[in-house]
């Protein structure tokens, strides 16, 4: 796929919502080790609300960036550290796609770079475990490197996701709940957009 449009981003947010709902209890369990145990609930609630809101939009009249703004507004209404971080991240990603009806590999790279930059500015790298910041920074670096080598959207998203894998699939070892949810998000993006 050389370009993607609003309908593919709607599908992407739907894929993310499904992943967060399916893994809610597992993410809460991971968060209970070092956090307050609500990360899975936070991510499930946010993406379920995002999915419901964007389902009412007309894809033909909605720019891709507007969907990221919906995500940002949704996260702003949730009182959790990860929610505040993603509110800023999705707002930046939406701004990077402003005015775009179709998005190519470079546009998506700029949006994901903006997202990762916001995550880095508002988060901190993990001390013992890979967290949201670690996963997004590693993933976007891999995406941009593959893009510079002439990769397609699918190639670049596969490269980003590969930073979270071992030979047998996703490797969540050494991740906290935020790192795990970021990995689930990357997989949903790849599945919907590649």
pLDDT tens per residue across span 118-128: 999 887 777 77
Residue 4's pLDDT band, with cuts at 50, 70 and 90, is very high
Token code pair at residue 124: 């901190």
For 150-161, what is the HEC assignment?
CCCHHHHHHHHH
The per-residue pLDDT for 168 is 56
Residue 64's pLDDT band, with cuts at 50, 70 and 90, is very high
Residue 83's pLDDT band, with cuts at 50, 70 and 90, is very high
Q: What is the pTM of this model?
A: 0.92
CA-wise closest residue to 94 among 66, 116, 75: 66
- Asked whether residue 113 carries a pLDDT value surpassing 70, the answer given is yes
- Asked whether residue 12 carries a pLDDT value surpassing 80, the answer given is yes
Helix (H) or strand (E) holding 3: strand 3-5
The backbone region for 44, taken as left when phi is positive above 0, alpha when psi lies in -120 to 50, beta otherwise, is alpha
Summarize the confidence of residues 112-117 as an average pLDDT. Answer: 96
pLDDT over 90 for what percent of the chain? Answer: 76
The per-residue pLDDT for 167 is 53
Topology annotation, domain 3-193? 1.25.40
**Residue 191: CA count within 13 A, CB half-sphere:** 15
- Asked whether residue 76 carries a pLDDT value surpassing 80, the answer given is yes
Summarize the confidence of residues 81-102 as an average pLDDT. Answer: 93
């Amino acid at each position: 796929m050389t370009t993607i449009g609003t309908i593919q981003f709607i599908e992407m947010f739907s894929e993310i919502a499904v992943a967060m709902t399916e893994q809610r209890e597992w993410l809460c369990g991971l968060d209970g080790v070092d956090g307050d145990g609500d990360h899975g609930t936070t991510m499930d609630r946010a993406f379920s609300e995002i999915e419901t809101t964007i389902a009412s939009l007309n894809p033909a009249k909605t720019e891709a960036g507007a969907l990221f703004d919906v995500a940002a507004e949704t996260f702003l209404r949730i009182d959790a550290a990860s929610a505040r971080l993603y509110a800023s991240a999705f707002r930046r990603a939406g701004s990077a796609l402003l005015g775009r009806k179709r998005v190519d590999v470079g546009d998506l790279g700029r949006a994901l770079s903006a997202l990762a930059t916001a995550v880095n500015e508002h988060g901190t790298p993990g001390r013992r475990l890979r967290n949201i910041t670690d996963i997004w920074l590693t993933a976007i670096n891999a995406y941009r490197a593959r893009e510079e080598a002439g990769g397609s959207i699918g190639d670049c998203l596969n490269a980003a996701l590969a930073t979270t894998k071992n030979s047998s699939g996703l490797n969540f070892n050494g991740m906290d709940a935020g790192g795990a949810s970021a990995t689930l998000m990357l997989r949903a993006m790849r599945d919907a957009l590649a």
